[in-house]
Chains A and B, each alone.
Chain A
């Protein structure tokens, strides 16, 4: 082993892999926690773009949902009895917050759907409007509400795995990291698998892909393009709602202005990097947040020797920029090209029936 370290580049790579694998169990929990809102945001984008609607407003939808989840849970905590369901920290106020967040994000999605499908406005402008509006309205209301310092409703709890699973040799930590999450995190994991199967194995999936790639052909075989697009875009909003709620009632328990901090855009990047599939987007989200995890691990426990010098020599900001750089490279087709559904961005116009 030591002999390999002598060979400059290969030695460095081997050293790096060894370092990464030994450090990984330590920060895997943080990676999954950070990846959850991004993966959920990607699922929102997935529902939109697979059926032919661009959505760059994921960020705004998430921010709105984050605010509504926190606010609704706080109000519910003041008005309603604090019934504890005794499972994963689920209480009545938190449940109400979660449902309100999903409803709010679906409402915003409905506006996006209306603008991009019925009004046939530019879909990117519609997304931009959502982003600007969300920052404004949440900032405005947050400032007014926080003056009265409302109580926090707390947050969901992570699932504590039975010891015999966590104690499994070699892979115990993996289960611990993936499944040791709260109700929203678990929903995300289930949704990723279910949507992946549905996309390629169900009637809905086939129709959605048809509408996203060639709506005219889809209409000819009797698929209602407009209706399917509406349904998918609005349902997609539910995932943005979960993503936002995750930030304020599962990962944290308070709202701050602009707290999504670009996660909605990373979600878009993850969707592209994952080639518009749920599993791919989830993998991309993990990979992206791993670069943040790596940054942290290098800061606190840098490896020794030449590798340590090399890694600490790289500016820490580079790791934060890495997801975006990778996305550009993938999109440009330098390393394995990622291609969007063909009809994304085009409003569908039905041929006139009168003729």
Chain B
């Protein structure tokens, strides 16, 4: 088939790229439906129509009202930011499992500054707190980057370890130095964030973080595909040896990429704590950092793809509440769906063969070839 140009060509490419993710989503929904029917006797008696009730409630909760839509966006924005943090890592040949830790480090640093500036003007407190969050995340991303560049320690292991270190760090700071004293504080948490709490821009809960996430997508796209740095990141990701031969410095690019990933995940943490939670608990229960891996894979590590994937996962999380209250299906169903979507994406060769899809090889696997295959190569660096 000859390549079409203009809008038709763009459409062809979009279809080729989106085909497999869409099929994976449909297959996951089918799997979910089977699971729902099989487990329906445990919910409210045998009910073969449960999938329809459940999925309808899920969709209604996510898109059925203005509040639902805003909720979708609120849930999606940290996923998009953290998804970019994982996705840019993929482009640079790095598997960033540490978005969770970078998210927490960002949230923690943002909180420290926000609490310190609690009586300052919002015009000062907000930008400084967000900046602190980005710096915190950057630092947490810099560590595994530097370790990989200079000692060869694989980032998959170091970022997993740093995730747990971050949990303890948050617990120490929040239950110690930053523990709140106000009347609202009934467990180990900080006082409410006042001055630095992000203004609402849309609906009941749509805070400024939505705009930041929306801004981050084009910036990340420009950075990756239109800037010299992005070209270097992608070259190092595709072939570090070729990059070195071309006069680039893979070590520094690795550190830069990881730091950039950390910065984005830290921003996600900052907006979440300043805009959504508005205080910081000592044990911050979130799975954003892990969901972000799924978002980045579903979005094929491309900023636009990550935006759509983040919106989808955000919608599922926003609708899960209504699904639980209306159809009595536990919210954990959403986690199952996310995992199954990933499963079909990972098994793309099999899906392609079974369904006889012949689209261009735009798979996640091709992006990732240099990532986990380097796992055993620490010594040879």
Give A contacts to B, CB under 8 Å. 52, 54, 56, 115, 119-126, 128-133, 135-137, 139-141, 143-145, 147-148, 257, 262, 265, 268-269, 272, 315-318, 320-321, 324-325, 327-328, 331-334, 337, 339-346
Q: Is the beta-carbon distance between A339 and B160 smaller than 8 angstroms?
A: no
For the complex, give the distance between the alpha carbons of A136 and B313 in Å.
Answer: 14
Of A52, A119, A130, A321, which one neighbours B347 at CB under 8 angstroms? A119
Q: What is the CB-to-nearest-CB distance from B179 to chain A, in angstroms, rounded to a whole number?
A: 13
List 7 interface pairs A-B (beta carbons < 8 Å), by A numbering: A115-B346, A122-B365, A124-B375, A272-B157, A324-B165, A332-B147, A345-B373
Q: What is the CB-to-nearest-CB distance from B372 to chain A, in angstroms, rounded to a whole number?
A: 4
For the complex, give the distance between the alpha carbons of A121 and B371 in Å.
Answer: 12
Q: Is B229 part of the binding interface, using a Cβ–Cβ cutoff of 8 Å? A: no
In the bound complex, residues from chain B placing their C-beta under 8 Å from that of A148 are 42
In the bound complex, residues from chain A placing their C-beta under 8 Å from that of B169 are 317, 321
Of A52, A54, A131, which one neighbours B290 at CB under 8 angstroms? A131
In the bound complex, residues from chain A placing their C-beta under 8 Å from that of B343 are 115, 129, 133
Q: Contacts A125-B297, A136-B332, A327-B157: A342 and B376 contacting too (C-beta < 8 A)?
A: yes
Q: Is the beta-carbon distance between B160 and A265 smaller than 8 angstroms?
A: yes
Q: Is the beta-carbon distance between A262 and B164 smaller than 8 angstroms?
A: yes
* Cβ-closest chain A residue relative to B101: A324
Q: Is the beta-carbon distance between B165 and A333 smaller than 8 angstroms?
A: no
Q: Is the beta-carbon distance between A133 and B339 smaller than 8 angstroms?
A: yes
Of A115, A122, A132, A316, which one neighbours B294 at CB under 8 angstroms? A132
Q: What is the CB-to-nearest-CB distance from A128 to chain B, in angstroms, rounded to a whole number?
A: 5
Q: Is the beta-carbon distance between B376 and A124 smaller than 8 angstroms?
A: no
Q: SS class of chain B's interface: helix, strand, loop or mixed?
A: helix
In the bound complex, residues from chain A placing their C-beta under 8 Å from that of B376 are 52, 340-346
Q: Is the beta-carbon distance between A126 and B346 smaller than 8 angstroms?
A: yes
Number of interface residues of B (CB under 8 A): 58
In the bound complex, residues from chain A placing their C-beta under 8 Å from that of B350 are 119
Q: Contacts A125-B346, A331-B153, A332-B151: A56 and B375 contacting too (C-beta < 8 A)?
A: no
Q: Is the beta-carbon distance between A139 and B335 smaller than 8 angstroms?
A: yes
* Cβ-closest chain A residue relative to B349: A119
In the bound complex, residues from chain B placing their C-beta under 8 Å from that of A54 are 156, 372, 375
In the bound complex, residues from chain B placing their C-beta under 8 Å from that of A345 are 372-376
* Cβ-closest chain A residue relative to B340: A133
The 7 closest A-B CB pairs, nearest first, are A136-B335, A345-B375, A133-B339, A139-B332, A136-B336, A344-B376, A324-B161
For the complex, give the distance between the alpha carbons of A233 and B365 in Å.
Answer: 22
Q: Is B168 part of the binding interface, using a Cβ–Cβ cutoff of 8 Å? A: yes
In the bound complex, residues from chain B placing their C-beta under 8 Å from that of A123 are 372
* Cβ-closest chain A residue relative to B346: A121
* Cβ-closest chain A residue relative to B150: A332
In the bound complex, residues from chain A placing their C-beta under 8 Å from that of B377 are 342
Q: Is the beta-carbon distance between B43 and A136 smaller than 8 angstroms?
A: no
For the complex, give the distance between the alpha carbons of A135 and B294 in Å.
Answer: 14
* Cβ-closest chain B residue relative to A125: B346
Would you give the 0/1 interface string for B62-101, flagging 1 where the beta carbon is closer than 8 Å to chain A? 0000000000000000000000000000000001010000
Q: What is the CB-to-nearest-CB distance from B249 to chain A, in angstroms, rounded to a whole number?
A: 20
341-363 of chain B: CB within 8 A of chain A: 342-343, 346-350
Q: Is B118 part of the binding interface, using a Cβ–Cβ cutoff of 8 Å? A: no
For the complex, give the distance between the alpha carbons of A173 and B343 in Å.
Answer: 48
Q: Is the beta-carbon distance between B293 and A122 smaller than 8 angstroms?
A: no
Q: What is the CB-to-nearest-CB distance from B328 to chain A, in angstroms, rounded to a whole number?
A: 9
Of B153, B157, B336, which one neighbours A140 at CB under 8 angstroms? B336
Report which residue of B39, B156, B343, B374 has the largest number of chain A beta carbons within 10 angstroms of its beta carbon.
Answer: B343
314-346 of chain B: CB within 8 A of chain A: 330, 332-340, 342-343, 346
In the bound complex, residues from chain B placing their C-beta under 8 Å from that of A144 are 39, 42-43, 330
For the complex, give the distance between the alpha carbons of A333 and B379 in Å.
Answer: 10
Q: Is B243 part of the binding interface, using a Cβ–Cβ cutoff of 8 Å? A: no
Q: Is the beta-carbon distance between B153 and A333 smaller than 8 angstroms?
A: yes
In the bound complex, residues from chain B placing their C-beta under 8 Å from that of A52 are 376
Q: Contacts A132-B339, A136-B332: A122 and B371 contacting too (C-beta < 8 A)?
A: yes
* Cβ-closest chain A residue relative to B345: A125
Q: Is the beta-carbon distance between A265 and B158 smaller than 8 angstroms?
A: no
Of A139, A315, A333, which one neighbours B176 at CB under 8 angstroms? A315
Q: Contacts A135-B335, A345-B372: A321 and B330 contacting too (C-beta < 8 A)?
A: no
In the bound complex, residues from chain B placing their C-beta under 8 Å from that of A140 are 39, 330, 332-333, 335-336
For the complex, give the distance between the alpha carbons of A128 and B172 in Å.
Answer: 28
Q: What is the CB-to-nearest-CB distance from B303 to chain A, in angstroms, rounded to a whole number?
A: 20
Q: Is the beta-carbon distance between A331 and B154 smaller than 8 angstroms?
A: yes
Of A56, A119, A327, which one neighbours B156 at CB under 8 angstroms? A56
For the complex, give the distance between the alpha carbons of A268 and B342 in Å.
Answer: 23
Q: Is B368 part of the binding interface, using a Cβ–Cβ cutoff of 8 Å? A: yes
Q: Is the beta-carbon distance between A136 and B334 smaller than 8 angstroms?
A: yes
* Cβ-closest chain B residue relative to A330: B153
For the complex, give the distance between the alpha carbons of A341 and B350 in Å.
Answer: 29
For the complex, give the distance between the alpha carbons of A139 and B333 in Å.
Answer: 8
In the bound complex, residues from chain A placing their C-beta under 8 Å from that of B95 are 124
